[in-house]
Amino acid sequence: METKQFKAESKRLLDIMINSIYTHREIFLRELISNSSDAIDKIYYKALTDDSLTFEKDNYYINIIPDKESRTLKICDTGIGMTKDELENNLGVIAKSGSLQFKKENEVEDGHDIIGQFGVGFYSAFLVAKEVTVISKAFGSDKAYKWQSKGADGYIIEPCEKDSIGTEIVLNIKDNTEDENFDEYLDEYRLKSIIKRYSDFIRYPIKMDVTKSKLKEGSESEYEEYNEEEVVNSMVPIWRKNKRELKDEDYDNFYVEKHFGFDKPLKHIHISVDGMVSYNSILYIPEKAPFDFYTKDYEKGLELYSSGVMIMEKCADLLPDYFSFVKGIVDSEDFSLNISREILQHDRQLKLIAKNIKTKIKNELEGLLKNEREKYEEFYKSFGSQLKYGVYSDFGANKDVLQDLLMFYSSKEKKLVTLDEYVSRMKEEQKYIYYASGESYERIEKLPQTELLLDKGYEILYFIDDVDEFAIKMLANYKEKEFKSVSSSDLGIDTEENEMKTSDEDNKLFESMKELLKDKVKEVKASKKLKKHPVCLSNEGELSIEMEKVLNAMPNNPSLKADKVLEININHEVFDALKDAHEKDEEKFKLYTDLLYNQALLIEGLSIGDPVEFTNNICKIMK
């Protein structure tokens, strides 16, 4: 029998494919099972449209038969089968499914690129097999044929015997090598887990004989093994079921089954869309962040299925970064099984689905915030930072999507509030949304900078998350109200009562202090915001003191400095002492300046340059 050659380009591609394309050899089974499923679909369709055929559901299935002794793995189906011509055309040329056409349109010199852009279905059998035999009898034909190939060398086709219609694929599994163990593809448990993983939702039963053990008859302790046929896949995916038939519990179970998380999901979203794009999806908003969520190791993405067959475990393009905590699956018939990551990225359907999903998640979160506040706060505790990063990143491109989902702790409510809530109860004359940054709510509460604002009954948002101020700077304003830090040197409250009248003497004093402090501060001035405290720091310009702290804590320390202003309360007794010293005792004035400056640093949570000197100075004034 003459061995026929694969068409030239097929041969080259086959070589490359076998050696490089797939890192996961196990996907061969997914490919072959999906071909079987397609073949059953075809005969199913025939039965529906051809009166001479009756469709007996039980007659259609896929059978997986491993045999360790002969080192073969069989994949049998009761599908439509292939004629001699079809065997030749479908298996003799690579990429019947438009891939070849695609390749022509996208001719690239380097084979890796070509291959990287599509998978090669049936040929993936050679990832694990040294020889592949296909025995097939087509519907409407009384002859069966055998196709056989050892890979790139070519193939033979010859008549053979087969009773029933359908296809049987026999893989002669490769021998183990030093690096790779091919035995696993003959192992019942391993095969079962591969099927579960990739083909769980194939519409037809995937049957396999599995070994079980039972008590020997008449014995109470001796077991014997026996074989029993089992349907390995669960067939109807939950996302195809009617929402009304499903209970919360079903969704929770699926979450656990899929290993989406150890927590109980806070919310599920079940989507069925038919229109510009068609897809089914189940999404989950988890309650707790996985331990690696805020690290580089965390990979976002949804499982992507094409007609019940998993084609990607984590399709990142389906989720924006700021919703990276969402788990779930998307199933769409619009994707070909062999679509690669590179193609997917540019796929229009995928983009539409992603956009759709983004809106659904946003609406769901807004609904949660509105109707189930406690749950939302729970969610926000876990993932609020991610939303704030989302506002900050991409130069604020997504702030409109996210701003209404943000929450901050309020000086007034003593709990998290939304920006909308803040703005809606702002005082009439209040120009800004005020915020204060610090390490903890307790520390912020005591910041002298907040005195005036609290006195006026203004609400202040407390920022304790590193990202807060960065996000707010990106947001710039909310409902036309700008944000303002309580540490800003100008709070924007210029009423008469706060006009601080300073004399020439006072101004000279401030100048002398500035001279002593040199570059440490940009200015020393009379404070408009202090009431009871003698001193505080404020800042001018874009970079705040809190931001300086965050940036300087980063690994490649950019050592940026905020422009600091030392504010003195001229109505405080301490100021009188300061004036006195300025007039009479230069040493004392130096000492006081130093003390006040360091105090201001401490209040701000900044470290003081020389703690020993500071404590010595305190001792000096005690004498």
| Site of interaction with Mg ion (CB under 5 A) | 35, 121
Geometric angle at alpha carbon 132, from 128 and 133, rounded to 5°: 150
User: Which entry of Mg ion, ligand ADP, none binds 63, CB below 5 to 8 A by partner kind?
Assistant: none
Coil, helix or strand at residue 288 = coil
Q: Is 267 helix (H, G, I), strand (E, B) or coil?
A: strand
Compute the least distance from the CB of residue 299 to ligand ADP, in Å: 28
Q: Cβ neighbours of residue 581 under 8 Å, at least 6 residues apart?
A: 588, 589, 591, 592
At its nearest, how many Å lie between ligand ADP and the CB of residue 118? Answer: 9
- C-alpha dihedral over 465, 468, 471, 474, to 10 degrees? -150
The candidate with the shortest Cα–Cα distance to 348, out of 402, 276, 409, is: 276
**Segment near ligand ADP (CB under 6 A); pick from 49-57, 78-86, 530-538, 605-613:** 78-86
Measured in residues, the chain has a length of 623
Q: Which two tokens mark 126? A: 């050679």
Task: Judge contact between 448 and 603, C-beta under 8 A.
Answer: yes
Q: Residue 407: helix, strand or coil by DSSP?
A: strand
Residue 463 marked in a binding site: no
Q: Is 97 annotated as a binding residue?
A: yes
**CB 403 → Mg ion: shortest distance, Å?**
46
Regarding 199 and contact with ligand ADP (CB under 6 A), the answer is no
CB of 34 to Mg ion, least distance (A): 5
Q: Which two tokens stand for residue 253?
A: 């179970």
User: Known binder of ligand: residue 120?
Assistant: yes
Contact 545, 602 (CB under 8 A): no
Q: Of 10, 90, 487, 544, which one interacts with ligand ADP (CB under 6 A)?
A: 90
Which of residues 74 and 196 has its CB atom nearest to ligand ADP in the complex?
74
Spatial separation of the C-alpha atoms in residues 190 and 196, rounded to whole Å: 10
Confirm or reject binding of residue 97 to ligand ADP (CB under 6 A).
yes
Mask of contacts with ligand ADP, 25-44, x by CB under 6 A? Answer: ------x---xx--x-----
Q: Which is nearer to ligand ADP, 72 or 512 (by Cβ)?
A: 72
**In the complex, what is the shortest distance from the CB of residue 338 to Mg ion, in angstroms, rounded to a whole number?**
7
Residue 148 binds ligand ADP (CB under 6 A) = no
| Helix 573-584 vs helix 504-517: crossing angle, to nearest 10 | 80
HSE, side-chain direction, 13 A CA sphere, residue 161? 0
Question: Residue 575 annotated as binding?
Answer: no
**341 a known binding residue?**
yes
- The Cα 384–Cα 387 span in angstroms is 5
What does 79 interact with, of ligand ADP, Mg ion, none (CB < 5 to 8 A by kind)? ligand ADP
89 is an annotated ligand-binding site residue: no
The footprint of ligand ADP on residues 151-180 (CB under 6 A) is 167
Q: How far is the CB of 357 from ligand ADP (least distance, A)?
A: 26
Residue 279 pairs with which residues in a beta bridge?
273
Task: Report the residue from 66, 92, 121, 286 that binds ligand ADP according to the rule CB under 6 A.
Answer: 121
Residue 92 labelled as part of a binding site: no
The residues, ordered by sequence, that sit 6+ positions from 249 with a Cβ below 8 Å of its Cβ are: none
Q: Contact between 133 and ligand ADP (CB under 6 A)? A: no
- Tell me whether strands 62-67 and 206-215 are parallel, antiparallel or unpaired: parallel
How many chain residues are in contact with ligand ADP, going by CB under 6 A? Answer: 18
Minimum Å distance from CB 234 to ligand ADP? Answer: 22
Instruction: Report d(CA 92, CA 156) in Å as an integer.
Output: 10
Are 148 and 134 spatial neighbours (Cβ–Cβ below 8 Å)? yes
Residue 8: helix, strand or coil by DSSP?
Answer: helix
On whether the CB atoms of residues 450 and 484 are closer than 8 A, the answer is no
Stretch that binds ligand ADP, among 9-17, 73-81, 320-328, 474-482 (CB under 6 A): 73-81
CA distance 445 to 467: 20
Please report how close the Cβ of residue 23 comes to ligand ADP at its closest, in angstroms. 19
What token pair was written down for 57? 């559901």
Q: Is 122 among the annotated ligand-binding positions?
A: yes
Write down the least CB distance from residue 32 to Mg ion, Å: 8
Check residue 82 for interaction with ligand ADP (CB under 6 A): yes
Please report how close the Cβ of residue 53 comes to ligand ADP at its closest, in angstroms: 17
Q: Which of 14, 28, 64, 77 touches ligand ADP (CB under 6 A)?
A: 77
Cβ proximity to Mg ion, 121 vs 308, nearer residue: 121
Gap between the Cα atoms of 487 and 567, Å rounded: 10
Q: Does 90 show up as a binding residue in the annotation?
A: yes
Q: Which is nearer to ligand ADP, 114 or 530 (CB)?
A: 114
Q: In terms of C-beta density within 10 A (0-12 exposed, 13-18 middle, 19 or more buried), how is residue 334 classed?
A: middle
Q: Which of 16, 26, 73, 79 binds ligand ADP (CB under 6 A)?
A: 79
Q: Which residue has the tokens 């990739």?
A: 198
Cβ nearer to ligand ADP, comparing 167 with 539? 167
Of the candidates 123, 223, 203, 214, the residue with the CA atom closest to the CA atom of residue 169? 123
x/- contact string, 315-354, with ligand ADP (CB under 6 A)?
----------------------xx----------------
98 in a labelled binding site: yes
Structure tokens at 341: 């990551």
3-state DSSP assignment of residue 225: strand
What residues form the annotated binding site? 31, 35, 77, 82, 90, 96-98, 117-122, 167, 341
- Where do contacts with ligand ADP occur on this chain (CB under 6 A)? 31, 35-36, 39, 77, 79-82, 90-91, 96-97, 121-122, 167, 337-338
Known binding-site positions for ATP: 31, 35, 77, 82, 90, 96-98, 117-122, 167, 341
